[in-house]
Amino acid sequence: MSEKQFCVIGNPIAHSRSPDIHQLFAQQFGHSLSYTRQLATMDTFASTVTGLFRNGLAGANVTVPFKLAAFELASSHSAAALSAQAVNTLIPQADGSLLGANTDGLGLIHDLLRQNCTLKGKRLLLLGAGGAARGVIHNLLEQQPEVIWIYNRTTSKAQQLAQQDERLQAVEAWSDVAAVDGIINATSASLSGQVVPIPEPLLANLEFGYDMMYGTEPTAFMQWLQSRSNAFISDGLGMLVGQAAESYRLWWHSELPSIEPVVTEIRRRLAER
132 binds ligand NDP (CB under 6 A): yes
Residues 6+ apart with CB under 8 A from 239: 104, 107, 108, 110, 111, 212
Nearest residue to ligand NDP on Cβ basis: 130
Rounded distance, CA 187 to CA 224, Å? 14
236 binds ligand NDP (CB under 6 A): yes
Rounded distance, CA 78 to CA 85, Å? 10
Q: How far is the CB of 30 from ligand NDP (least distance, A)?
A: 26
Output 4 or 270, the one with its CB closest to ligand NDP: 270
Is 4 marked active-site? no
153 binds ligand NDP (CB under 6 A): yes
199 to 228, contacts with ligand NDP by CB under 6 A?
212-213
Q: Which of 67, 120, 122, 157 is catalytic?
A: 67
By DSSP bridging, strand 123-127 and strand 208-211 are unpaired
104 binds ligand NDP (CB under 6 A): yes
36 to 55, contacts with ligand NDP by CB under 6 A?
none
Tell me if 139 sits within 8 A of 105, measured CB to CB: yes
157 binds ligand NDP (CB under 6 A): yes
Listed in order, strand segments (DSSP E) in the chain are 4-10, 33-39, 59-62, 76-77, 89-92, 98-101, 123-127, 147-151, 168-170, 182-185, 208-211, 232-234
Output 194 or 223, the one with its CB closest to ligand NDP: 194
245 binds ligand NDP (CB under 6 A): no
Q: How crowded is the C-beta side of 76, counted as CA atoms within 13 Å?
A: 10
Tell me if 119 sits within 8 A of 145, measured CB to CB: yes
Q: Which stretch binds ligand NDP (CB under 6 A): 2-10, 17-25, 71-79, 149-157?
A: 149-157
Rounded distance, CA 38 to CA 62, Å? 10
CA proximity to 208, closest of 145, 103, 119, 146: 119
Q: How far is the CB of 142 from ligand NDP (least distance, A)?
A: 18
Output 4 or 157, the one with its CB closest to ligand NDP: 157
Q: Which residues are catalytic?
A: 67
Where does this chain bind ligand NDP (CB under 6 A)? 104, 107, 128-133, 152-154, 157, 186-189, 191-192, 194, 196, 212-213, 236, 239-240, 243
